[in-house]
Amino acid sequence: MILAGDIGGTNSRLALFERDARAPKHFEVFPSGEFSSLEPILERFLGPARPKLAAASFGIAGPVRLGRANATNLGWGVESTSLARALGLKNVGLLNDLEATVWGIEWLQPNELLALNDVPADSAGNVAVIAAGTGLGQAGLIRTAEESVPFATESGHAGFAPETADQSRLLDFLRNPSEPHVSVENVCSGTGLENIYRWCLAEGGQAEPGWLHEDSQHGDAAAAIAAAAQAGTDQLAKRALATFIEIYGAEAGNLALRLMATGGVYVAGGIAVKHVNQLSAGGFMEAFVAKPPLSELLRRIPVHVVTNDRTALLGAARHAVSGQDRPAT
C-alpha cells in the first residue's frame, strides 16, 4: 500500500492507495491543531492492524528543506527520518503541499477542471499552480527536453504589489510600523479576505457588524464575509470579495509571467472551489491579463480551476509511487 498525506495548518488528510490507483482505499481527515505532531495522527489513522506499506509521501503546507518541514500555520514540524522510523520504511518523501498539487494535476480527469481561459496549452510549456486557502501557495513545473520537474516556492510570502489606487490604500492600511512588510498572502487567503473587509469598514467609517464579531469568535470570519457577499446582504462584503478576486487574478498573472507558464495556470485550493462563479465572472481574468506589454501572451495561456480538493493528496501518492522519496541530501 502507498500512504499519502496532505498536511495543512487546518486539516491533515491521509489516504491509502494501491499502486497507480487514483482512488484511495481509505481516507480520513484530522484537525491538525489537536495533535502535537504528525506521528500520533498516523498512529490514529493506521490503527493497531496497520497495513504493510511500500512507500509514503506527505505534502506539507510550508517550506521543506533537508528532510524537514516547518508547517507555516502549525506549531510543529515534520522530519522524514522520524516518519520513516515510525512507519517502518527506509525513506519517506516530504514535499511542499503545492508541489504535491503539481504532481497530482496529471492524475486529474477533465471533469475535475473548470476553464477560466479555454485556450490550447503549449504542451512543452511550463505550468504554474496557485492556491489561496489558509495561506497562499504557489508552485510550478519546469519542462525540458529530457524531463518535467515540479518545484515549490514560497512566493505567497513575497511583497504585495498594488495594481490600483484602492489597492494602494489597502496596502497602507495593512502596513504596521514595526513590521512594514505586507505579503501577498496577507491579502490573498482566508485571512486576506478578512483583512480586505476590515479595510472596507475603515474606509466607510463603519464599525464591525455584529455577525462578523460573532463569527470571528466562534467560526470562520472569512467564510462569513464571503457568504454575506454572495447573498448580497452586505455591500462592503461584496466589495471585499470583488477586491480579493482582482488581487487573486493579478497574482496568478504575475506567477504566469515569472514561470513563463504557457503550459497552463491551475487555480487550486478551497477558496477557488467555493467561489467558481465569482472567478468566472470576469474580474479574475481581467486582472490576470492586465500586464502590458505582455497582455496578449497572457491571453494565450489556459487557466483552469482545480475542482478536486484531493489533488495534493493524489500528488503525494504519485510522488511516492514514482520513487521520489529519496533520503535528504
Q: What fold does the segment set 2-97+310-321 form as a domain?
A: Nucleotidyltransferase; domain 5 (3.30.420)
The whole-number average pLDDT for the span 31-59 is 92
Q: What is the pLDDT of residue 207?
A: 83
Q: What is the pLDDT of residue 134?
A: 84
**pLDDT tens profile 292-316:** 999 999 999 999 999 999 999 999 9
Whether the per-residue pLDDT at 158 is higher than 50: the answer is yes
DSSP secondary structure letter of residue 60: E
**pLDDT tens profile 275-297:** 999 999 989 999 999 999 999 99
- Are 70 and 62 contacting, i.e. CB atoms less than 8 angstroms apart? yes
The whole-number average pLDDT for the span 122-148 is 94
Q: What is the pLDDT of residue 245?
A: 97
Residue 258 CB: number of other CB atoms within 10 A? 15
Q: What is the pLDDT of residue 324?
A: 43
Whether the per-residue pLDDT at 327 is higher than 70: the answer is no
Which of 19-23, 85-89, 241-245 tops mean pLDDT? 241-245
DSSP secondary structure letter of residue 233: S
274 Cα distance to chain centroid: 13
The whole-number average pLDDT for the span 72-93 is 88
As a whole number, the mean pLDDT across the chain is 91
- Are 298 and 288 contacting, i.e. CB atoms less than 8 angstroms apart? yes
Q: What is the pLDDT of residue 4?
A: 96
The class level of CATH for 109-307 reads alpha beta
Paired sense of beta strands 148-152 and 55-60, if any: unpaired
Cell 454575506 appears where? Answer: 228
Q: What is the pLDDT of residue 74?
A: 75
The whole-number average pLDDT for the span 16-45 is 91
CA distance 233 to 90: 56
**pLDDT tens profile 174-233:** 998 888 999 999 999 999 999 999 999 999 888 888 877 776 666 688 989 999 998 888
| Cα atoms in the 13 Å half-sphere on the side-chain side of 53 | 24
> 3-state SS string over 72-130?
CCCCCEEEHHHHHHHHCCCCCEEEEHHHHHHHHHCCCCHHHEEEEECCCCCCCCCEEEE
Between 70 and 328, residue with greater pLDDT: 70
- Per-residue pLDDT band at 148 (split at 50, 70, 90): very high
Q: What is the pLDDT of residue 216?
A: 66
Domain assignments of the chain as residue spans, ordered by start: 2-97+310-321, 109-307
Q: What is the pLDDT of residue 49?
A: 85
The whole-number average pLDDT for the span 48-77 is 86
- Quickly list H helices, the chain: 38-46, 80-87, 97-105, 165-174, 190-203, 210-218, 221-231, 235-259, 270-274, 276-280, 283-289, 295-299, 311-321
- Per-residue pLDDT band at 325 (split at 50, 70, 90): very low
Cell 495533535 appears where? Answer: 35
